[in-house]
Amino acid sequence: MGIIYHNKPEMKSPILLAAWPGIGNVGIITLATLRDQLGAGVLADIEPEEFFYPAGVNIKNGVQQELRFPLSRFYYQQWCGQDIVIFMGDEQPADGQNTYAQGSRAYNMANRVLDVAEELGCQRIITFGAAVTMTHHKIKPKVWAVANNKKFLNTIQERMPAEL
């Protein structure tokens, strides 16, 4: 089990943008919109069997044709001279009946995404999602950013509006 590459273009220091479904599907909607606006093509899929149960089955004349699994797919496109890789998962892998990523399946899926990022030479990984807050619906929403080092946080702050 592993990665199925549909294309493998040459890329120079790509950035990986990643999201799974979550609160309001903010991350998925954001990256699906970006993917569509950029016209990003399919790059690769993570084979699903070790992470998910089938989401459905196609049957024809009483015979099983195929099992349907959630997609965990990579897309790619170049934008303004920057190679962009977009990863989107249809579901978060979880052990048991949990809705959100948890356990060994989630850990292994994250590692698989990181393996692809490393193989492609990604220099930065940016994840997208949402957080529940006690905010009144009339208050202007904000964007939150968390970085794994001060230099990257400074870069984010330089490029974002003051409300960040």
| pLDDT computed for residue 162 by the predictor | 60
Q: Above pLDDT 70, what percent of the chain?
A: 93
Domain range summary for the chain, segments of one domain joined by +: 3-132
Decide if pLDDT at 81 tops 70. Answer: yes
CB-based burial label for 111 (10 Å; 0-12, 13-18, 19+):
exposed
Q: What is the pLDDT of residues 83-104, one digit of tens each?
A: 999 999 988 877 777 666 677 8
Which range has highest mean pLDDT (1-5, 21-25, 30-34)? 30-34
Q: What is the pLDDT of residues 29-68, one digit of tens each?
A: 999 999 999 999 999 999 888 877 788 888 888 888 788 8
State in words which class domain 3-132 has: alpha beta
Residues 6+ apart with CB under 8 A from 4: 44, 45, 46, 47
Radius of gyration of the chain (CA): 18
The DSSP H or E segment spanning 26 is helix 26-38
Query: Of the candidates 129, 133, 123, 162, which has an alpha carbon nearest to the alpha carbon of residue 146?
Result: 129
